[in-house]
């Protein structure tokens, strides 16, 4: 396998499961040294099992404003100045808009939007100083369309896209690109469980290509945006939704 990320250091949040783990594995398989961050204590063992050597896991709650700076400082200490940040950590707490409890609204915003900003800010500081960086934020098709019972989720992901626009504008002159990726339903273990049965089959019929996205497809897109050949791409929100949002 081509080692296109040889010598690169990538921080990946949400790295213990789902898209985040697939992204971490994708980078490691291509030569990157990965620092995985997750709320789960299992992240250390999972990172140690990735292809290659020198990977590192950090178990932290990124909703604490000071956590991001501490995580990036630890990444610099154990691996060096990061070249890549992928903000993949997220939650989906679904309620009818009229019934959304304040605690579930705030939790969604804290994890999906605020934690991503804190990590981008902390990593952006060292990347700007180094004159190079690639930041990819996980948004969602829910950032650009409305979905039933997704008020908090849609708001948080739309915020990610707006944040991506601002950071890309401010940091482009410093060699740091910032982009967002917006998948449809992704067939992670959690995605398969949440969209099992007729609910999932109906959702697939509503997607022009007739299926959900695979985790590796999302990881491959993130890797492209994190590569040197994507240096001219910044401030974009790339949809990977099989045409769903064009219907």
What is the length of the chain?
247
Active-site residue, 224 included: no
Encoding tokens for residue 128?
């700007």
As a three-state string, the secondary structure of the chain is CCCCCCCCEEEEECCCCHHHHHHHHHHHHCCCEEEEEECCCCHHHHHHCCCCCCCEEEECCCCCCCHHHHHHHHHHHHCCCCCEEEECCCCCCCECHHHCCHHHHHHHHHHHHHHHHHHHHHHHHHHHHHCCEEEEEECCHHHCCCCCCEHHHHHHHHHHHHHHHHHHHHHHHHCEEEEEEEECCECCHHHHHHCCHHHHHHHHHCCCCCCCECHHHHHHHHHHHCCHHHCCCCCCEEEECCCHHHC
- Which residue of the set 21, 118, 132, 153 is catalytic? 153
| CB distance 131 to 174 below 8 Å | yes
Which active-site residues does the annotation give? 153
């Amino acid at each position: 396998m081509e080692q296109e990320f040889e010598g690169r250091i990538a921080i990946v949040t949400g790295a213990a499961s789902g898209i985040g783990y697939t992204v971490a594995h994708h980078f490691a398989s291509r030569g990157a040294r990965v620092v995985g961050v997750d709320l789960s204590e299992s992240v250390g063992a999972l990172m140690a099992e990735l292809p290659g050597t020198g990977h590192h896991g950090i178990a932290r709650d990124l909703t604490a404003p000071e956590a991001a700076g501490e995580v990036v400082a630890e990444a610099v200490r154990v691996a060096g100045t990061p070249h890549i940040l992928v903000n993949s950590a997220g939650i989906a707490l679904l309620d009818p808009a009229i019934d959304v409890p304040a605690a579930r609204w705030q939790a969604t915003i804290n994890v999906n939007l605020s934690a991503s900003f804190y990590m981008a800010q902390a990593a952006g500081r060292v990347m700007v100083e180094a004159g190079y960086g690639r930041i990819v934020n996980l948004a969602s098709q829910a950032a650009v369309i409305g979905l039933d019972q997704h008020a908090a989720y849609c708001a948080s992901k739309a915020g990610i896209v707006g944040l991506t626009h601002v950071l890309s504008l401010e940091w482009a002159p410093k060699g740091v690109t910032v982009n967002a990726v917006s998948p449809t339903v992704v067939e992670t273990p959690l995605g398969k469980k949440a969209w099992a049965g007729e609910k999932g089959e109906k959702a697939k019929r509503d997607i022009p290509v007739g299926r959900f996205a695979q985790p590796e497809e999302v990881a491959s897109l993130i890797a492209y945006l994190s590569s040197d050949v994507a240096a001219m791409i910044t401030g974009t929100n790339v949809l990977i939704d099989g045409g769903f949002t064009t219907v």
